[in-house]
Amino acid sequence: MAGRPELLFPLFAGLETLPGVGAGTARQLAGLGVERPRDLLFLLPQAGIDRSRRATIRELRPPATATVEVTVGGHFPPVRKGGPYRIHVRDAATEFQIVYFNAAGERLKALLPSGQRRLVSGKLDLFDGIAQMVHPDHVLRPEEAERLPVYEPVYPLSGRLTQRVVARAVAAALARAPSPEEWIDPALKRREGWPDWRDAVATAHHPSGPQSLSPADPARQRLAYDELLAHQLTLALARSQRRRAPGLVSQASGRLQARVLAALDYAPTRAQARAVEEIAADMARPARMNRLLQGDVGSGKTLVALLALLIAVEAGGQGVMMAPTEVLARQHLASLAPLAAAAGVRLEILTGRDKGAERAAKRADLASGAIGILVGTHAVFQPDVVFADLRLAVIDEQHRFGVAQRMALGAKGRQADVLVMTATPIPRSLALAQYGDMDVSVLDEKPPGRTPVKTALVSAARTDEVVAHLAEAVAAGRQAYWVCPLVEESEAVDLTAAEDRFRHLRAAFGEGMVGLVHGQMPPAEKDAAMADFVAGCSRVLVATTVIEVGVNVPNASIMVIERAEIFGLAQLHQLRGRVGRGAASSTCLLLYQPPLGEAARRRLHVLRDTEDGFRIAEEDLALRGAGDLIGTAQSGLPRFRIADLERQAGLMTLAQTDARKLLHEDPALVTPRGTAARTLLWLMEQDKAIRLLGVG
C-alpha cells in the first residue's frame, strides 16, 4: 500500500520545525506525550478562563478573574527587600492595586507606564480590604486588546511548561493542519451537525465558553468519533482478514445435543438457545469463528459451551475447553462429565498434574480421536499435545489468556473455531473497544431454578448479631461463605484476618463445622477444605477472595462479605454470585465499617439495588473509569486522547456499525470515502490496519 499521504507530512515532522519550539521545549512537551505537531492538535484544552471585559472591578465579587482597562497611576517600589512592588491603577469607577514580587522596577515602568492606559487581566483578590491583582496574566495596550481571547483555553502542563508556551506551539501546529477529504458518512455528519475536520480542530482549541469543553460539543464529538472510527476500522479489518482465512465447516446434526437437552431437568433460556444458534451458524460457515460469549454470573455459559463442543463432535471432530486454573478446569470437568456421559461422548481432563504413563495414554487417545472433548489448563499448549481433528477451542475467562496463547491454541487446530467466554459483564462500550474484532453473544437471562439473592448492608458493629443468625441457619442445615479481605493482620490497615475470623467462628459453631481457604495455603490443603465444604462436612467456609471465580455449591445460600466497602463492585458482584445457585432463598450481607465514603456508599447501594451484572458494570465504569475496570496495563484497551468511553459509549457503537458497513461496501478502501478513511488511519497512527490493507 502507498505510504503516508503527502498532505499529512507537515504534521509528522519534528516538533522543532515549529516556529518558537526549541530542543528544550520539545523535551518538556514529550512529558505530555507530544512528539510531533500532530500530537499538539489532539492535546485539547481541559479548562478555560473567562476573560470577558468589564468596565470596572465593582461588577465582580473577589476572588475572581478580572479583565478591565485602567489608567496607570503611581509606582511604589518595595520598602524592604523582597517586599511588594505596588502600582496604583483606576478603572471606569474605582481604584485598585497591581502587585508584583521580585520584579525589576525598570521593567515594570516600561510595562505599565504612569499616565497611560492598559488592559489588564488576572486574579482579583481582597487583601486587608484593598482590591489587588497580583502578577496579572496579561498586560496589553488598548490597540492589542483583540489578541486576548474572551475565553482563554487552559492546557495540561508538564515539567517547566507554561500556558503561553503550549498555546504558542498549538497555534503553530494549527497553522499546518490540512483540509482532508471527508471520511465520515455524509448522512451521519449532517444528522449530528458535525463540522469538517479542520474546523473541528480549530474550534476545539478556541473554546467560546465552558460548554465548548464538554464531550457533547459538536467539534469535540466529531474528533472523538474520528478516533473511535479509526480504532473500529482497524478491528473490522482484522476481523474480515480472519474471516477470509479458511476455516472448517462443522455442520451440527443435533443428535448429541438432543441427548443432553433430554437429560436436563429444565429447558434452556431463550438467551442460551439464541447463543447456541449463533455459534452453530458460525461453525457451519467455511470462515473461522471468533466469538465472545458474554454472560453474567450464573447465566448458564457452561451449558452453551458444552452444546458448542458437541457440534464439533457431531461434525466428526474434537473440542477443547480451556480454563485459567486447575481448580476451574476440575470444576468444568465435574459439571460437564454427567452431560457428556448422557451424550455418549468421551470427556477427559489434561492439566500439569498429569504425568508419565497416564499422560502418555491421554495423548495417544487425543491423537487417535478417541477423546471427543478435552478440558484443560495451559498444559494443553505443550507442543507434544496433538489432536486428531480439533474443530473448536472454548476459552474461559478471556483476560487471563494472552493473545499469543490464543494463537498457539488456534495453531493446534490450524483452522479451529474459537469461542471465548467471560463471566465479567463488560459495558458495551468497553466490550467494543476490547473485543470489537469478535462477534458477541450475550446471555442476559438467568436459567430457571436460580433464586434471587437478597442483599443487605450491615454495620460491622452488628457482627455478633450476624454470627447469631448464622448459627440458626447452620442448625437448619444451610451453608455459608464468610469472605475476609486480607490473610494477615496488617498494622497499617485495621482489617480482620481470615485466621482470626476462622477461630472466632469455630468457637461459636464447634469443631469441624468451619473450614478455611486462603491464597497462602498449600494447594492440597486448599482442595481438601473446598472438598469438605462441597460435600457438606463443613457448614461455613471462611475464605479470602480465592472463591471469587467459578466455585459451585448449590446448598450454600448465605454470603457474608466483611469490610465490603474496600472491594470493587465487579468483585462484590462475582462473590455474591457464589450463592443463589440452589432452591433455598439466598442472602448476601455486606458488612461495612462506618463512616462510609461517598464512592463506597454508592458502590454498596448499587449492589444492594440490582443483580443485573451489566448495569453494575456500567456503574463500575462510571465510578472507576475505563482503565481501572480491566486494569489498562494488561487489558489491551487502546489509549484514546479525546474519546471518553464512559461518556461517549453511544459513539463507539456507531463507529463499529459504520466501520463494518464501509468495509462491506469497499473492502479495499479505494472509493473516495475509502481513500479518505485511509488518510484517517494514517492520521491516527493505526499502522496495524494499514499493514492489513497492504496484505489484503
Rounded Cα gap, residues 452 and 199, in angstroms: 53
Among 18, 111, 15, 115, CA closest to 71: 115
Among 436, 397, 474, CA closest to 236: 436
Rounded Cα gap, residues 15 and 26, in angstroms: 6
Query: What pLDDT score was predicted for residue 512?
Result: 85
The H or E element containing residue 263 is helix 255-263
The fourth-level CATH superfamily of domain 453-610 is P-loop containing nucleotide triphosphate hydrolases (3.40.50.300)
Query: What pLDDT score was predicted for residue 173?
Result: 93
Query: What pLDDT score was predicted for residue 418?
Result: 87
- The radius of gyration of the chain from alpha carbons, rounded to an integer in Å, stands at 32
Question: Which of helix, strand or coil describes residue 497?
Answer: strand
Confidence of residue 425 (pLDDT cuts 50, 70, 90): low
Q: Is a pLDDT exceeding 70 seen at residue 403? A: no
Average pLDDT over the chain, rounded to whole? 84
pLDDT per position as a tens digit, 117-126: 999 999 999 9
C-beta atoms surrounding 496 within 10 Å: 18
Q: What is the DSSP letter of 269?
A: P
Query: What pLDDT score was predicted for residue 342?
Result: 94
Residue that wins the pLDDT comparison between 398 and 318: 318
The H or E element containing residue 340 is helix 326-343
Confidence of residue 427 (pLDDT cuts 50, 70, 90): low
Average confidence (pLDDT) over 190-206: 95
Q: How far is CA 386 from CA 216, 332, 389, 487, 654, in A?
A: 54, 21, 9, 41, 43
The fourth-level CATH superfamily of domain 52-148 is Nucleic acid-binding proteins (2.40.50.140)
Query: Is the distance from CB of 422 to CB of 398 less than 8 angstroms?
Result: yes
Q: How far is CA 33 from CA 26, 131, 158, 509, 573, in A?
A: 11, 40, 10, 59, 36
Domains of the chain, by residue range, sit at 52-148, 255-443, 453-610
Query: What pLDDT score was predicted for residue 96?
Result: 94
Rounded Cα gap, residues 378 and 565, in angstroms: 35
Rounded Cα gap, residues 474 and 625, in angstroms: 40
Residue that wins the pLDDT comparison between 471 and 634: 471
Looking at 37-41, 220-224, 423-427, 466-470, which range is the least confident one?
Answer: 423-427
pLDDT per position as a tens digit, 87-112: 999 998 899 999 999 888 888 988 99
DSSP assignments along 318-329, one per residue: EEEEE-SSHHHH
Rounded Cα gap, residues 31 and 39, in angstroms: 12
pLDDT per position as a tens digit, 480-527: 999 887 644 443 343 456 788 888 999 888 888 998 887 677 777 877
pLDDT per position as a tens digit, 550-561: 567 778 889 999
Average confidence (pLDDT) over 224-235: 90
Q: Is a pLDDT exceeding 90 seen at residue 222? A: yes
Average confidence (pLDDT) over 675-688: 87
Query: What pLDDT score was predicted for residue 319?
Result: 94
All residues at 6 or more sequence positions from 650 whose CB lies less than 8 Å from its CB, including other chains: none
Question: Which of helix, strand or coil describes residue 413?
Answer: coil
Among 2, 6, 8, CA closest to 684: 8
Angle at 671 between CA 668 and CA 675, to 5 degrees: 75
Share of the chain above pLDDT 70, in %: 86
Q: Is a pLDDT exceeding 80 seen at residue 15? A: yes
Query: What pLDDT score was predicted for residue 432?
Result: 65
Q: Is a pLDDT exceeding 90 seen at residue 183? A: yes
Average confidence (pLDDT) over 73-85: 88
Which range, 200-209, 324-333, 646-655, is most confident? 200-209
Average confidence (pLDDT) over 436-444: 75
Q: Is a pLDDT exceeding 80 seen at residue 154? A: yes
Average confidence (pLDDT) over 188-209: 94
Helices and strands: H and E segment counts in the chain: 25, 21
Confidence of residue 2 (pLDDT cuts 50, 70, 90): low
Report the 3 state secondary structure along 341-381: HHHCCCEEEECCCCCHHHHHHHHHHHHHCCCCEEEECHHHH
pLDDT per position as a tens digit, 594-618: 888 888 888 899 888 887 776 777 6
Q: Judge if 255-443 and 453-610 fold alike in CATH terms.
A: yes
Q: Is a pLDDT exceeding 60 seen at residue 624? A: no
Confidence of residue 582 (pLDDT cuts 50, 70, 90): confident
pLDDT per position as a tens digit, 319-359: 999 887 777 788 888 889 999 999 999 999 998 788 889 99
Share of the chain above pLDDT 90, in %: 36
The full length of the chain comes to: 696
CATH number of 255-443: 3.40.50.300
